[in-house]
Structure 1
Amino acid sequence: MRILVLGGYGHFGGRIARSLAADAGMDIIVAGRDAARAERFIVETALGRERMRAARLDVESDAFEQELRALAPALVIHTAGPFQERDYRVAEAALACGSHYVDLADGRGFVAGIDALDAKARATQRWAIGGASSVPGLTAAVVESLRERFSRLDAVQTGISPGNRTPRGLATTRAILSYVGQPYAALVKGEWRDVHGWQSLRRVVYPGLGARWLARCEVPDLEVLPRRYPSLKTCDFRAGLDLRRMHFGLWLGSWLVRARLVSGMQGWAERLLAISERWIENGSDVGAMHVGLSGVDFDGTPLRLRWTLLARDGDGPQVPCTAAILLARKLARGELPGSGAKPCLDMFGLDEFLQALDGYAIETDLRRR
């Protein structure tokens, strides 16, 4: 199966390309605007040119669709964010070329709106799947795996805190900064209310790791999970930085945006990323994620569960890559029947996801609270 990874030499795209290139029968095209970087990435990867080749592709080019068609991929995996600033031209071009499409988008509107391409995807008998990443891909799989324990599911509250000693990219930094201090709608206690990005601080204790501070973030879960589970009264997502100086510094910045002293923080992305790189040897290499569910069991008793994932030894960045890897493998084996355009919900089970992480220093835990 020929798979084109757009942004394939980047932070997440590189992991996806390496993982799929190790599979028999995969032909990986590492694509992006910088052909020299793509070539260097391939040379430095153990499998090298046996399973991978480079291609220059610029999604902003007028010739993008024509160049994509010439490469003839069966699947396009789009990792070149930030998706808060993207439209659907890559997905539309992929479908027009007869390719499946999968992205790692974390933009709320982008993922929630991808079903606008459903008619095109069905007409070409292909899939266009948005948000094949930690959110909503993994969170939705966790919720669905535990939903059968509830007669009524009232709340889903998720948090992610990556370890500081893991690589970070400019696109991810810009994505986070896009909503810092900005208002957005969230479902809270049965009402849609305006909340603000990187505010409402919360301290969460992870067994075997310790305490991390989290703050509100705007992600696709806030839109797609209430649609999927109409009984929800609260849907919350928070993220946090391992180093408190970075976490609380960003929190202070959110107040400048909220007070309209600055219009936003995206313009600071390169400088803040450079500062964070100076501190990359500090903190921990352990990332954490939790999904908390609250509701009522079938005896009418209140039920609260918390599923936790810990990623040690710097393996945390493999988690957001795994949904796309898993979907590519399922498509290659003919295990993803049907077609259409949708957010990454109900495309795989939690057990499948965790099996794809075998060999990484990742552990999970489920507790009743």
Structure 2
Amino acid sequence: MKKRVLILGGRGRVGSCVAQDIIHFIPEVEIIVTGRKTIQSQPPLDPRMQFLELELAEHDSLKAAISSVDLVIHCAGPFHYRDATVLKLCIDAGVNYIDVSDNRSFTIQALSYHHQAQEKGITAVINTGIFPGISNSLVRFCVEQLDQVENIHLSYVVGGSGGAGITVMRTTFLGLQRPFEVWKEGKWQQVKPYSDREDIEFPAPYGKLGVYWFDMPECYTLAQSFDVKTVVTKFGTFPDFYNYLTQMVAHRWPPSWLQQTAVIEFLSQVSYAMTTFTDYFSGIGVAVRSSTQGYKDQKRVECCSTLTHENTAVAAGIGTGSVAQLLLANQLNQPGVWPIEQALPTDLFKQTLEERHVSIQLEYLTPV
């Protein structure tokens, strides 16, 4: 029998990419994509897909949709505004769950349902996508190359809008609202968003670009997943002038402004309009660089893995679609609620990327 998948927010940029990945790599599947309303201008769905108009706040309709499928994929961000209701309903219904969440508070709330999911035999994998998602698995890959790891440095750069639509703009500006805690030198310390610029050498075509502290779930989960002294997660955009504009908003605008929904929406709309133009020469790709410092064969080394893709939204679809493929094939069966780096073995991670012709570059460096 065909497996049935429900993709919440499946008409959005990332949700659509997740759906396309699943359609391409899982032949025996039916997909239900949800949205708030039918939009006539959107392209027609694949014959194996159907649209369901659904509001997440309508719990009876949401319960009914969840109970009719084998897997739920939550792509309806921004996750700053979401709670773990969908996950809880999936656990109650005995349905496996994946999401593309990218918010620390949401992540902590979701992980609190770990034992409930274990008791029901439900596998729930959170923070899938590109960052978080593929990025976390790159870290696990590097960690496994070393005998002992002390420091993790994870950095990302995105070209323009990343092809991910206005939601990613909202997520960016919501991430500037307040300082956050990071794991540095064996203790939690507070840092300001979009601070402490570093120039990182990314693979071609990006080269050396600036990245800044940004509050991602990886700040929290990687410190829980691996016994390390420091976890750094930094983000930047291309062209570089967007970084300076974002830094100005983060550090020079009154903090009270960024707490206002209308201000966040204004910034998001303006930024999206700007990137719609600059995307023509910046591209919408992504580069991820994972660096782990530690010891191998009693020598101090740095293991560095990198990955690039020409379309950030498609890369997110690959990350989430890969996990869906493994769950539906019963190759990933680990009851509980897990961040992606704890759930996905490296051999399966590399296998699914190879199937999608996405390559990882690995090298050893001498730490400074």
Same fold (TM over 0.5): yes
SS of residue paired to 1:141: helix
Give 1:175 deviation, angstroms.
1.2
- Identity within the alignment, %: 19
User: Residues 145 and 339 from structure 1, CA distance in 2 versus in 1: closer, same or farther, beyond 3 angstroms?
Assistant: same
2 CA distance for matches of 1:286 and 1:118? 34
Q: Which residue of 1 is the match for residue 34 of structure 2? A: 31
Q: Where does structure 2 lack aligned partners over 5 or more consecutive residues?
A: none
Q: Which residue of 1 is the match for residue 126 of structure 2? A: 130
Where do 1:56-67 residues align within 5 Å?
56-67=53-64
Return the match for 1:212 from 201, 209, 213.
209
SS of residue paired to 1:175: helix
Return the match for 1:307 from 305, 308, 311.
305
Give 1:216 deviation, angstroms.
1.0
Q: How many residues align?
A: 357
Q: Where does structure 1 lack aligned partners over 5 or more consecutive residues?
A: none
Q: Aligned partner of 1:36: which letter?
A: I
2 CA distance for matches of 1:206 and 1:272? 24
Return the match for 2:81 from 74, 78, 85.
85
2 CA distance for matches of 1:290 and 1:213? 13
1 CA distance for matches of 2:138 and 2:318? 14
- Determine whether 1:103 maps to 2:99: yes
* CA-based RMSD: 2.3
User: Residues 19 and 367 from structure 1, CA distance in 2 versus in 1: closer, same or farther, beyond 3 angstroms?
Assistant: same
- Determine whether 1:144 maps to 2:140: yes
SS of residue paired to 1:162: strand
1 CA distance for matches of 2:303 and 2:32? 42
Return the match for 1:242 from 238, 256, 273.
238
2 CA distance for matches of 1:76 and 1:90? 9
Moved more, 4-13 or 178-187: 178-187
Q: Aligned partner of 1:134: which letter?
A: I
Q: Aligned partner of 1:224: which letter?
A: T
Q: Which residue of 2 is the match for residue 9 of structure 1? A: 11
2 CA distance for matches of 1:159 and 1:362? 18
SS of residue paired to 2:11: coil
User: Residues 122 and 350 from structure 1, CA distance in 2 versus in 1: closer, same or farther, beyond 3 angstroms?
Assistant: closer
User: Residues 331 and 165 from structure 1, CA distance in 2 versus in 1: closer, same or farther, beyond 3 angstroms?
Assistant: closer
- Could you give the per-residue CA deviations for residues 40-82 of structure 1, whole angstroms, max 9, x where no partner exists? 44x1x5xx22x11111111022434344256x01111000111
Between 1 and 2, higher relative CO (CA 8 Å, sep ≥ 6) is seen in 2
- Could you give the per-residue CA deviations for residues 285-331 of structure 1, whole angstroms, max 9, x where no partner exists? 542110011112231x22112111122xx333322222321222122
Q: Which residue of 1 is the match for residue 52 of structure 2? A: 55
Q: Aligned partner of 1:186: which letter?
A: V
Where do 1:1-369 residues align within 5 Å?
1-22=3-24, 23-36=26-39, 40-41=42-43, 43=44, 45=45, 48-49=46-47, 51-69=48-66, 72-164=68-160, 166-180=162-176, 182-209=178-205, 210-230=207-227, 232-257=228-253, 260=255, 262-264=257-259, 266-267=264-265, 268-299=267-298, 301-311=299-309, 314-358=310-354, 362-369=358-365
SS of residue paired to 1:262: helix
1 CA distance for matches of 2:161 and 2:357? 15
- Could you give the per-residue CA deviations for residues 174-228 of structure 1, whole angstroms, max 9, x where no partner exists? 1111122621011122332111111211111224331211111111111111111
Give 1:136 deviation, angstroms.
4.1
Contact 1:114 1:343 in 2 (8 A): no
2 CA distance for matches of 1:292 and 1:107? 22
User: Residues 126 and 190 from structure 1, CA distance in 2 versus in 1: closer, same or farther, beyond 3 angstroms?
Assistant: closer
2 CA distance for matches of 1:4 and 1:261? 38
Q: Aligned partner of 2:83: which letter?
A: D
Contact 2:163 2:284 in 1 (8 A): no
Moved more, 268-277 or 352-361: 352-361
SS of residue paired to 1:35: coil
Contact 1:309 1:365 in 2 (8 A): yes
SS of residue paired to 1:240: strand
User: Residues 107 and 285 from structure 1, CA distance in 2 versus in 1: closer, same or farther, beyond 3 angstroms?
Assistant: closer
TM-score norm. by structure 2 comes to: 0.89
2 CA distance for matches of 1:34 and 1:227? 39
Give 1:262 deviation, angstroms.
3.1
- Could you give the per-residue CA deviations for residues 118-141 of structure 1, whole angstroms, max 9, x where no partner exists? 233233321222111234432332
User: Residues 197 and 64 from structure 1, CA distance in 2 versus in 1: closer, same or farther, beyond 3 angstroms?
Assistant: farther
Contact 2:225 2:342 in 1 (8 A): no
User: Residues 342 and 349 from structure 1, CA distance in 2 versus in 1: closer, same or farther, beyond 3 angstroms?
Assistant: closer
2 CA distance for matches of 1:286 and 1:361? 16
SS of residue paired to 1:63: helix
Give 1:99 deviation, angstroms.
1.5
1 CA distance for matches of 2:203 and 2:125? 34
